[in-house]
Amino acid sequence: MFTLEDAERAHRLVGGVVPPSAARQWPLLSELLGTQTVVKHENHNPTGAFKVRGGLTYLDALTRRKSDVSGIISATRGNHGQSLALAGMHFGVPVTIVVPEGNSVEKNAAMRAYGAELIEHGADFEAAASHALELAGARGLERVPSFHRNLVLGVSTYGLELLNQHSDLDTLYVPIGLGSGICGCIQARDLLGLKTEIVGVQAAGAPSYALSFEAGHAVETPAAQTFADGVATRVPDPEALDMILKGATRVVIVDEQEIADAVRLYWQKTHNLAEGAGAVPLAAALKEKSLNMGRKVGLILSGGNIDLDLFAERIIVGAHKAGSEERAA
């Protein structure tokens, strides 16, 4: 898809706006998992998630190619939109974002704060994406897809940072939304000539890539129902799926309770706030604990943008309720 020189050039571009994120070894997580555990903290980025890297490289390439970009439009559940909004401010390009109805209130507010025009439309991401395509034609805007070479190029820079620092990782767990994150990690590993296993993670309520990986071809699901909105995808991207089939070792499915437990554990063991999608790698590593004993494992904490009400209801109240039920039993 691109060369190591391309990735290093992208890293210099991204680095002008986004400092390298920390890759920390947390003793309590290592003790919990029975591994040497390294967490890549993309939740520490300016927008609170990894996708800011892709927005910068995408708009850099677009504005180099076209000097008269009147505006861009895209669909998102939040982090992609924040990425484009921040990049739009950096490059002086107006940004319109379409989100599903009932989307995260706090992510919506963040996108508006970065200057994006926000439009709510449809019941899910696919409906929002279809509306964004219609508006692109009607308003004469450049439509930015959720998966594209230049987005993958940008997000691959966190893979380069991590794998250059920890080239001896045995396994790296990465969440799968539409696929740019895991594809960026696959590219970074291959460009560096490493043997690290890349393992994708999805929610049980939105398992399109997991089902597709097992079948060897695209499998759509009728719904994507999970509080981890960053991995709520019904329809796999063909190009992303092809890279995942060729470069990933497996795709693990975790349920809602396992995700909620992982969010809580990140807070308890590291005092880091993880959104649902950011916590699925830890949930998967816990699920596969017996496979990883004594190995060195990497976890991508891809974002920390979880609404306060959701955190309180699902993570805090949910943990107390589960504890009460266990004591009663």
Note the pLDDT tens digit of each residue in 83-94. 999 999 999 999
Domains of the chain, earliest start first: 4-50+149-321 (3.40.50.1100), 52-143 (3.40.50.1100)
Q: For residue 177, give Cα distances in angstroms to 174, 189, 233, 285, 300.
A: 10, 19, 6, 18, 13
List C-alpha distances in Å: 155 to 45, 89, 159: 12, 19, 7
Q: Is the dihedral of CA 99, 261, 44, 292 positive or negative?
A: negative
Q: Locate tokens 């940004």: which residue?
A: 95
Q: Report the alpha-carbon distance of residue 43 to residue 21 in Å, rounded.
A: 8
- What are the C-alpha distances in Å from 199 to residues 49, 144, 161, 170? 19, 27, 18, 11
β pairing state of 36-41 and 23-25 = antiparallel
**Contact of 132 with 98, CB cutoff 8 Å:** yes
Please give the Cα distance from 273 to 94 (Å, whole number): 30
pLDDT band at 319 (very low <50, low <70, confident <90, very high): low
More confident residue, 78 or 277: 277
The token pair at 296 is 């060195």
296, 168 contact by CB (below 8 A)? yes
Integer angstrom CA distances of residue 63 from 84, 149, 293: 13, 16, 48
42: nearest Cα among 279, 325, 292, 225: 279
Among residues 57, 81, 61, the alpha carbon closest in space to that of 7 is found at 57
pLDDT digits (tens, 9 = 90+) for 239-292: 999 999 999 999 999 999 999 999 999 999 999 999 999 999 999 999 999 999
Tens-digit pLDDT profile for residues 138-192: 999 999 999 999 999 999 999 999 999 999 999 999 999 999 999 999 999 999 9
pLDDT for 293-317, tens place per residue?
A: 999 999 999 999 999 989 998 788 7
Do the Cβ atoms of 143 and 114 come closer than 8 Å?
no
Enter the tokens of residue 212: 């597709």
Helix/strand/coil percentages in the chain, nearest 5: 55, 15, 30
What is the chain's Cα-based Rg? 19
- For tokens 């799926």, the residue is 241
Confidence of residue 328 (pLDDT cuts 50, 70, 90): very low
